[in-house]
């Protein structure tokens, strides 16, 4: 056993001492760049090389070398031998990626006073000395991506006033000292993606007046990001905070960024977007909040964004669209709202989007497509409505979409189909929507004025979907007759209760409404009447929050709509539509 060990050690010693070598294969690029293609075997990390071997071009020597580019085939080294920068003092470009480097000592780049471009990508560096770049005042680009750094010393970049791009991506850095970037006045690109940062230190960015691009995606930020976290970033054009575990968004973060174009906040855990976060950033083109938990998005969340082109809100919990989100955005080209809980597309909501080319609403709970939701849609080219609950479509909507090419309508109630070149063959394609178009005849939209009398809508068994928007109180009467006459039963929605009233003055059920009714917002209910039980359901709930049994029973032929205190906007649809056509279905009809 002992002998075997000795043998192995001896072999290792021989092989390593034999294999140490460092040489250049010189080449001239475009007759200007005299380059060393470095072949290095230095697995033990020796640093006592006296020279880099190789044969120069005629008339050339070491001082002409301006670039060192490692030859990845067969090259490996544990360190950066200082002979490189002492032998080639005029080098400006060094690429030492993929070499297995673990240690970089303070003298590694000392001799390269003109170093401009340095790439140490994909090595195994665990730490860097504080004074590594003391003499490299011209360093402009530094790529340290994919190493094993856990921390950086505070003075590493103290002399790098010329640095414009710094890439620290994909290192397990947990600790970035507050002053690490303090002198990088000219930095334009900063990559901090996939580090182990758990908090954002406002000191980092204080002097980065010229930073244009900040990528901090994929960090597990567990501490609240302070309001002033990004206060110095006056020139920022792009910020990426995706996959950062962010739970709360602060409207102050972006207030100093007057030149922002791209904002990526997707794949976080945001539940809320506050008012006016981008009000000082009118240049924003792309805003991505996809894959969060957004349920409450302020009406003013996207205020003052006249240049917005792409809005991504897919994969959230959004149930209501707000008209203000889409106002004054003539350049909005693509909107992603897939995988939310949207019940309806409010009247007129997309009409201001004259530039809209692509709209995705895949997998929501939409039941009706109304022409008036979209306006004229001169440019709509791509529309995805797959996997909704659509049961009625306004024919004018289909005919207005004169450029509609991709139209996805699979897995809806009244039709299931997908089209390429939809508008080119409208006469043929519109036949797929016969049932949807017919059903649209049963959808009613009304606006009632404050204090008006009951306005009647035909009510169909076994009940109606009801949407209402009002400031204070709204009433629905269930009645057999379409004139004002002692309604059998009234449901009164107001700002603090929902009540059921019989004979105009007797409350028979009173429900506090914290959950059920919101003023100055859309409310969505389902009201059913069957076997003498009146049930009121919230949104798509399976269980009613009111179930009232009547002693006496009259058929409900009409719903009366009325708002005492303010204007109210109403949309009604039957829960079940009458069967389509007589003939094959007439037997069913008799059974009803």
Ligand X SMILES: *[C@@H]1O[C@H](CO)[C@@H](O)[C@H](O)[C@H]1NC(C)=O
Residues that bind ligand X (CB under 6 A): 17, 25, 27, 37, 39, 46, 48, 50, 71, 73-74, 424-425, 428, 472, 495-496
- Measured from the CB atom, the residue of 196 and 499 that comes closer to ligand X is 499
d(CA 517, CA 154): 55
> Which of 191, 300, 197 is CA-nearest to residue 246?
197
d(CA 534, CA 121): 69
- DSSP assignment of 426-453 equals HHHHGGGGHHHHHHHTT-EEEEE-BT--
Nearest approach in angstroms of CB 182 to ligand X is 39
- Measured from the CB atom, the residue of 17 and 549 that comes closer to ligand X is 17
- Measured from the CB atom, the residue of 159 and 495 that comes closer to ligand X is 495
Nearest approach in angstroms of CB 353 to ligand X is 28
Phi/psi for 213 (5° steps) reads: -135, 120
Helix (H, G, I), strand (E, B) or coil at 477: strand
- Measured from the CB atom, the residue of 17 and 486 that comes closer to ligand X is 17
Nearest approach in angstroms of CB 586 to ligand X is 30
Which stretch of DSSP H or E encloses residue 6? helix 2-19
Counting other chains too, the contacts that 428-433 makes at CB distance below 8 Å and 24 or more residues apart are 430/395, 430/398, 430/399, 433/393, 433/395, 433/398
Q: Which residues lie across from 450 on neighbouring strands?
A: 563
Nearest approach in angstroms of CB 104 to ligand X is 19
Nearest approach in angstroms of CB 46 to ligand X is 5
- Measured from the CB atom, the residue of 53 and 328 that comes closer to ligand X is 53
Nearest approach in angstroms of CB 172 to ligand X is 32
Q: How many CB atoms are located within 10 Å of the residue 353 CB?
A: 23
Nearest approach in angstroms of CB 87 to ligand X is 14
Nearest approach in angstroms of CB 248 to ligand X is 26
- Output the furthest CA–CA distance in the chain (Å, rounded): 111
Q: How far is CA 407 from the centre of its chain?
A: 23
- Measured from the CB atom, the residue of 38 and 257 that comes closer to ligand X is 38
Place of tokens 């060393």: 36
Q: How far is CA 6 from the centre of its chain?
A: 61
d(CA 454, CA 475): 9
């Amino acid at each position: 056993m002992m002998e075997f060990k000795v043998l192995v050690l001896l072999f290792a010693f021989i092989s390593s001492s034999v294999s140490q070598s460092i040489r250049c294969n010189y080449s001239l690029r475009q007759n200007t760049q005299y380059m060393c293609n470095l072949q290095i075997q230095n697995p033990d990390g020796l640093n006592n090389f006296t020279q880099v071997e190789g044969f120069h071009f005629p008339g050339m020597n070491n001082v002409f070398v301006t670039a060192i580019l490692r030859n990845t085939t067969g090259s490996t080294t544990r360190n950066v031998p200082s002979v490189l920068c002492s032998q080639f003092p005029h080098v400006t470009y060094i690429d030492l990626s993929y070499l297995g480097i673990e240690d970089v000592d303070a003298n590694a780049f000392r001799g390269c006073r003109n170093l401009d471009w340095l790439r140490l990508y994909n090595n195994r560096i665990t730490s860097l000395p504080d004074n590594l770049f003391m003499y490299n005042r011209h360093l402009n680009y530094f790529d340290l991506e994919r190493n094993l750094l856990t921390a950086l010393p505070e003075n590493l970049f103290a002399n790098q006033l010329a640095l414009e791009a710094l890439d620290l991506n994909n290192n397990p850095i947990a600790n970035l000292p507050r002053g690490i970037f303090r002198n990088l006045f000219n930095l334009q690109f900063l990559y901090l993606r996939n580090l182990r940062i758990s908090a954002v230190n406002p000191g980092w960015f204080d002097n980065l007046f010229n930073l244009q691009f900040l990528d901090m995606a994929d960090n597990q930020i567990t501490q609240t990001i302070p309001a002033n976290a990004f206060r110095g970033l006056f020139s920022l054009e792009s910020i990426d905070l995706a996959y950062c575990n962010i739970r709360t968004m602060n409207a102050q973060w972006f207030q100093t960024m007057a030149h922002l174009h791209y904002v990526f906040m997707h794949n976080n855990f945001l539940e809320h977007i506050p008012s006016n976060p981008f009000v000082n950033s009118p240049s924003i083109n792309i805003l991505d909040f996809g894959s969060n938990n957004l349920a409450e998005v302020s009406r003013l969340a996207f205020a003052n964004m006249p240049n917005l082109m792409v809005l991504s809100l897919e994969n959230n919990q959004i149930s209501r669209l707000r008209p203000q989100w889409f106002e004054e955005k003539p350049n909005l080209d693509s909107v992603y709202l897939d995988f939310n809980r949207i019940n309806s597309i409010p009247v007129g909501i997309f009409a201001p989007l004259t530039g809209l080319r692509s709209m995705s609403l895949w997998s929501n709970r939409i039941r009706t497509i109304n022409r008036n939701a979209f306006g004229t849609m001169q440019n709509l080219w791509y529309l995805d409505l797959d996997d909704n609950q659509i049961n009625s479509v306004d024919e004018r909507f289909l005919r207005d979409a004169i450029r509609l090419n991709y139209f996805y309508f699979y897995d809806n109630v009244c039709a299931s189909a997908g089209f390429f070149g939809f508008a080119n063959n409208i006469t043929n394609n519109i036949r797929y929507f016969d049932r949807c178009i017919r059903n649209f005849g049963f959808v009613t939209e009304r606006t009632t004025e404050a204090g008006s009398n009951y306005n009647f809508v035909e009510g169909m068994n076994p009940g109606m979907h009801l949407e209402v928007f009002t400031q204070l109180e709204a009433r629905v009467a269930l009645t057999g007759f379409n004139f004002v006459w002692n309604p059998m039963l009234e449901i009164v929605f107001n700002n603090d209760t929902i009540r059921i009233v019989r004979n105009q003055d007797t409350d028979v059920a009173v429900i506090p409404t914290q959950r059920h009714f919101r003023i100055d917002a859309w409310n969505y209910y389902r009201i059913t009447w069957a076997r003498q039980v009146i049930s009121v359901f919230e949104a798509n709930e399976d269980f009613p929050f009111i179930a009232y049994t009547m002693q006496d029973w009259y058929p409900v032929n009409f719903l009366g709509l009325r708002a005492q205190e303010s204007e109210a906007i109403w949309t009604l649809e039957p829960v079940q539509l009458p069967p389509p056509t007589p003939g094959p279905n007439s037997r069913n009809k008799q059974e009803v």
